Amino acid sequence: MSIAHDRRVMVAMSGGVDSSVAAALLVEDGFDVVGVTLRLWGGESDSGCCAVSDVEDARRVAQQLDIDHHVFNLADEFTQHVVQPYVDDHAAGRTPNPCIECNRHLKFDRLLNRARALGFERVATGHHARVVTLGDGTHRLARGADAAKDQSYVLYMLNQEALGRVTFPVGDMTKDQVRARATELGLRTADKPDSQDVCFITSASGRQGFLTQRVELHPGRLVDTSGEEVGSVEAVELVTVGQRRGLGLSGSGEYRFAVAVDVPSRTVTVGTLDELEVATTTVRQLEWTDQPVTGAFAVQASAHGTPVPANLVSAEDGSLEVRWGTPVRRIAPGQSLVFYDQGPHGEVVVGGGVAT
């Protein structure tokens, strides 16, 4: 782990074991550490990193480490940049990724700005990723040492300015090593389960219950690729491109998947696996680690997906066309595609964007 000469580091402490150990490692290395927890969601939460208990866990760990701890209330920004877009995307038939938007707008925008205003040039988090520096002095986001826990996919928006100010102390550790270190240090979060799912969706209400309170859901019809009606769905806004289960088509022969969602016409088109596959995907809202790139790269389509070879081709309208080496399942509109390059530090992120 390498950190710039500045010895003051603000650590984002979510109340989980990774950020707890990140803070502990920095303290051990002699840095002037202050812990902060972001209060993001004011509603019900029983999972993820938004529960009241998570704030208390972070505070108690900070006490154990003998560092100051503060809570930043960013609930309004969280609603504006994460929750409302999540609702709007479903209403438009897109499949959002709220964790990416939280990183983009809150953890690596608002928090970085707040840290600088308070005199901290460096911010640390418990993400499983690494920041590496190339021979020309530019930074890259590399995969974490634990392939199963790597979080580089959800951090693809980090540019040179951000990468020069963030550090991931547990990025060189496996999850087992992190937990072992937490146990050794006696941290109360050592055995705490990893956060799961969307933090503002409770297990009791689920996604449908959450959205029902915020947007009107509409029944829709299922049609095959020839236009013939083959069934119906309770809420067209809840269907994701690529979905098979929950469409009421089991037992009707060959598996069929949602290949398109048209909310205005209340129509979901279903097709076979062959009809689900595509040779190209258009990507917009592009963000680059350094300079825009084209050519041959590996492209990952989900947080724990497997990167596949593709060719990136720029379009005149500013979008990017991903030409897959072999056909892949259609990417749900709203999902991020992240581009990786192979280098001396392993796979590194060069950019990413949102599928249309």
DSSP 8-state secondary structure symbol assigned to residue 236: G
Please check whether residue 208 lies inside any domain of the structure: no
Which CATH number covers residue 117?
Answer: 3.40.50.620
Place of tokens 């974490």: 144
Distance between CA atoms of residues 317 and 115, nearest Å: 37
What's the predicted TM-score (pTM) here?
0.93
Please check whether residue 144 lies inside any domain of the structure: no
Please check whether residue 132 lies inside any domain of the structure: no
Place of tokens 């109340």: 15
Structural domain containing residue 252: 217-271
| Confidence tier at 198 by pLDDT (50, 70, 90) | confident
- The sign of the torsion formed by the CA atoms of 340, 346, 348, 354 equals positive
- What tokens does 111 get? 């928090």
In this structure, the answer to whether residues 180 and 90 fall within a common structural domain is yes
Which CATH number covers residue 350?
Answer: 2.40.30.10
In this structure, the answer to whether residues 20 and 112 fall within a common structural domain is yes
In this structure, the answer to whether residues 42 and 179 fall within a common structural domain is yes
Place of tokens 């009421």: 248
In this structure, the answer to whether residues 181 and 325 fall within a common structural domain is no
Q: What is the pLDDT of residues 223-245, one digit of tens each?
A: 999 999 999 999 999 999 999 99
Buried b (16+ CB within 10 A) or exposed e, 168-193: bbbbebbbeebbebbeebebbbbebe
Please report, for residues 100, 121, 280, the alpha-carbon distance to residue 96 in angstroms, rounded to integers and kept in the order given. Answer: 9, 31, 20
In this structure, the answer to whether residues 235 and 251 fall within a common structural domain is yes
| Residues labelled as active-site residues | 102, 199
Q: What is the pLDDT of residues 122-160, one digit of tens each?
A: 999 999 999 999 999 999 999 999 999 999 999 999 999
Residue 158: what residue type? L
In this structure, the answer to whether residues 41 and 179 fall within a common structural domain is yes
In this structure, the answer to whether residues 234 and 345 fall within a common structural domain is no
Q: What is the pLDDT of residues 21-80, one digit of tens each?
A: 999 999 999 999 999 999 998 776 665 555 678 999 999 999 999 999 999 999 999 999
In this structure, the answer to whether residues 120 and 247 fall within a common structural domain is no
In this structure, the answer to whether residues 235 and 281 fall within a common structural domain is no
Tally of structural domains, the chain: 3
Instruction: Please tell me the predicted confidence (pLDDT) of residue 252.
Output: 61
In this structure, the answer to whether residues 230 and 313 fall within a common structural domain is no
Q: Yes or no: say if 328 and 277 are a contact pair by the CB < 8 Å rule.
A: yes
Please check whether residue 131 lies inside any domain of the structure: no
Which CATH number covers residue 257?
Answer: 2.30.30.280
In this structure, the answer to whether residues 281 and 267 fall within a common structural domain is no
